[in-house]
Amino acid sequence: MDGGRFEKWGQAGGLISSQVYSMDQEADEALWFGTARGIARWKHGQWTHWRKHVELADGVVNTVAVDAEGGLWFGDRRNGLGRITAEGSVKYFTTSDGLVGDAVWEVKQDRQGVLWYATSSGLGGRRNGTWFRLGANAGMPDEAIWPIDVDGDSVCVGTLNRGLVCINRAQGEKDLPQVHIKAPQQEPGRVRLSWTAHSLWGVMPEDQIETRYRLNDRPWSDWSLQRQITLEEPGGGEHHLQVQAKGMLGNFQEAGARLMFAVEGPFYFRPTFQIPVGAALLLAAGLAATLRRRKQLYQRSLAASEARFRALIENSWDAIALLDAEGRRLYMSPFGRAHNGLSRP
């Protein structure tokens, strides 16, 4: 209103469409509009538009909500949740990313920074980058949800046929699921790890509690209903597993559950193999050294004996000759050669 009178904003003034379905306002008074032809923003006296098949998947935008980071969440009842960043780029999130449904009817963000969205498949939210869903596990009587009202510790939603439903957030913050990691099952070259998750007082059915894990401080897995992993050739030594369980409001215990376990390496790395084999190798090496030493001593003794024998023969005053089986002379001592007038041995 301007001066007590309504002021019309339409396409003639820069609005992308005259059919406006939703609107929200940033802290700096910038205005966002979801319309039949896309999204419009009025900021610092200028219009900015996001159109169908250009920046957006669909032109009809039914709900918008400004977030604390200066971006805008929006839904078109077909393509999941979209977000326009503070820089103006667009990204969509669908059921493949963790949404409860792609037909988003309304989206709101509360004072704690939790994003809430209503779909034809149930109520969902996003907290610190983690998606969560509230359905029958939280006592939701109907999947078709619209609208949403967030007030303090209560989140109230309208249903298609079951009236109004309110959720106590404070209770949901306390009832965090617990994780128990079972003892590892080890086989040659393989380790199986498994765990269970349960909520206090059965607030959440065990088969609906999502968990995630990481091994040896590696990146976290995606949230899922998985309860077991198999490690192929994990490598010998110490390992540790950490598992977290997601509560109904997307919160979880940071520490989660931890398990330290040891894996034996290949048999040739084990002490039961290395000690006897090492001892045998040392014994063989010692035996080889002894034999080598004995051979050296024998060769030296033989060389000394030959030298003594040669000196005895060559200095003898007797004629000494060595003949073969046919009587041919093979050797004659120096005295024998001199006595018989021979020139060669």
DSSP string, 200-239: GGGSS-GGG--EEEEETT-PPPPPBS--EEEEES--SEEE
Give the DSSP H or E segment for 50: strand 46-51
Using CA of residue 325, residue 326, residue 329, residue 333, what is the dihedral sign?
Answer: positive
Are the CB atoms for 14 and 3 separated by under 8 Å? Answer: no
Phi, psi of 110 (to 5 degrees): -90, 180
Are the CB atoms for 338 and 345 separated by under 8 Å? Answer: no
pLDDT 10s digits, 210-232? 999 999 989 999 999 999 999 98
Q: What is the CA radius of gyration of the chain?
A: 45
Q: What fold, for 178-265?
A: Immunoglobulin-like (2.60.40)
Question: Under DSSP, is residue 316 helix (H, G, I), strand (E, B) or coil?
Answer: coil
What is the chain's pLDDT, residue by residue, as a tens digit (345 residues)? Answer: 456 788 888 888 889 999 999 999 998 789 999 999 999 999 999 999 999 889 999 889 999 999 988 899 999 999 999 999 999 999 999 999 989 899 999 999 988 888 999 998 889 999 888 898 887 666 778 888 889 998 877 888 888 888 888 887 776 677 788 999 999 998 888 899 999 998 876 667 788 889 999 999 899 999 999 999 999 888 878 999 999 999 878 888 899 999 999 887 665 555 665 677 777 888 888 888 888 888 888 888 888 877 777 777 777 777 777 777 887 877 777 777 777 776 655
- Could you tell me which CATH number the domain at 11-174 has? 2.130.10.10
| pTM score | 0.65
Question: Which residue is associated with the tokens 């960043």?
Answer: 85
Best CA proximity match to 144, nearest among 119, 108, 115:
119
